[in-house]
Amino acid sequence: MAWYDDFKAILTLDAPLGPKTWLGVGGAAKYFFVPRGSEELSALVRRLGAARIPFHVLGAGANLLVRDEGVSGAVLSLAAPAFAAVTITGNRVQAGAGADMAKLVLQCARAGLAGLECLAGIPGTVGGQIRMNAGGSFGSIGSRVREITVMDHTGRVSTVAREQLSFTYRQGYRDAPLILRAELELTPEDPQRLAARIKEIWMYKKNTQPLAEHSAGCIFRNAAGVSAGALIDQAGLKGLAVGLARVSERHANFIVARPGATARQILDLIELVRRRVRERFQVALETEVVIW
């Protein structure tokens, strides 16, 4: 009897991860689970612990680079409907970690609630965005989070209040492995004004980012207040390529992958960019993209 026999209904063995990420590259997960609810997830987390199988949590894969070798442990996806429920009560929004942020931004705007427009054009799930404190010059998700519900490595569920949370530049909640849902506090606003604002932010993104190509958003973190994209641009690296991976001409901090690109090519390009920027500006760029 295998350790996963009780979970066969939600398990895919050797599941290719590339198609589940925005970059579209990388190998397979040895064990890929899509639990149907919190109790099943809790039992699975306990079983993984007992079997000493490490696990990763997958959101929309918008900030993820999976190596060509894949993941030898388990990957847990919160894509089941039970993790994507959204309820709006007054100016409070309860959103499951698996909820799609693009849809939530529009849903809140239609309900006349402001605060998430800053996330227009940023792909991902509620859980992934809270993990990364997604955002940018228009604002970040962290400022709207009142409380989150999380699960620890023993499968225990607890809530973490705003006062215990710390959101900094692209660093959100990382203490427990699984974010299950969040309560957001928004501000009443005219839906038409919100729609216009979302359109404005969306157009800005469309004009400055290679949205039609495979990418993972910004590859590097800004270094001590200096824009990583500006450094890469000033080093003349736009268009630099390794195989089918290329530094975007539209946004120097994006690497775009043509169909057929490998994770190895992207990783080599990351190292090349890092080396050239270090040689030119004596700045060591750190990656923002999560590498599995």
Chain residues binding ligand FAD by CB under 6 A are 22, 56-64, 78, 97, 122-125, 127-129, 131-132, 134-136, 170, 178-179, 209, 211, 215-217, 290
User: Looking at beta carbons only, is 64 or 88 nearer to ligand FAD?
Assistant: 64
Tokens of 201: 């932010």
- For residue 2, the minimal CB distance to ligand FAD (Å) is 25
User: Looking at beta carbons only, is 114 or 123 nearer to ligand FAD?
Assistant: 123
**CA gap 150, 45 in Å, rounded:** 13
- For residue 280, the minimal CB distance to ligand FAD (Å) is 25
User: Looking at beta carbons only, is 214 or 274 nearer to ligand FAD?
Assistant: 214
User: Looking at beta carbons only, is 88 or 134 nearer to ligand FAD?
Assistant: 134
Contacts of 50 (CB under 8 A, 6+ apart): 3
H-assigned helices in the chain: 38-50, 101-110, 126-132, 191-208, 228-234, 263-281
Q: DSSP of 8-73, one letter per residue?
A: GGGEEEEEE-GGGSSS----EEEEEE--SSHHHHHHHHHHHHHTT--EEEESSSTTEE--TT-EEE
The b/e string for 208-242 (b: 16+ C-beta within 10 A; e otherwise) is ebbeebbbbbbbbbbeeeeebbebbbebebbebeb
- For residue 269, the minimal CB distance to ligand FAD (Å) is 16
- For residue 275, the minimal CB distance to ligand FAD (Å) is 24
- For residue 245, the minimal CB distance to ligand FAD (Å) is 14
User: Looking at beta carbons only, is 179 or 267 nearer to ligand FAD?
Assistant: 179
